[in-house]
Structure 1
Amino acid sequence: MRKAGQPAAMIGTTNAGPIESRRNAIKTAIRVARHREPTTNAHYAITDAQCAGTDAQYAVTDAQCAATDAQCAATDAQCAGTDAECAATETQCAATDAPENASDA
């Protein structure tokens, strides 16, 4: 549309003043931001998915470590029982050997 005093050759172009220029700049910035936003959101979604995958891997590793710790605790308990049995056997042997050792002396 032709503005008052605008030559016919300038139809379709803008002859914006400072306020209109500022508005156009803001509109352009909003358009650009809207264009970039889906890409950025998709990037964040991919990053979040990767982090969730890493967190799941850590959870599996933690579960495996907990299972290993439980196995180690069971082994330690068995060893403690065996050590107690050995100590009792050594005490019995010492008691049995004492009279023989005394007579040999």
Structure 2
Amino acid sequence: MNKRLIGFIAASLVSSATFASEVPASFDAKKCKAEYPKASLLNEEQGAVTMSFLVSPSGDVMDSKIEKSSGFKNLDKAAVKAISACKFKPGTKDGVVAQTWTKVDYVWSL
């Protein structure tokens, strides 16, 4: 297998609402992928990063933070940058569109 080829990269939404009446924001993981950093490809770096995003009622990312690192700075930065640029479906609180935090796992695999 050619290690330069990007293997399976998956982003999955981890839905864990803070309150029963809160639905976190979501996005289409198939349309929103990060480009594997060249240095990470060369070094055969792999891992999963868990991030949290604050999503506005309009579906834009307002803030982000890394909850659990992949172990590689380049992979973490690339995942945050790519997912932050995605358009989210806004979350709701008590049935009303609202600003919400949502967790996302992004897996880097060769």
Query: TM-score w.r.t. structure 2 length?
Result: 0.19
Bigger Rg, which one: 1
Higher relative contact order (CA 8 A, sep 6+): 2
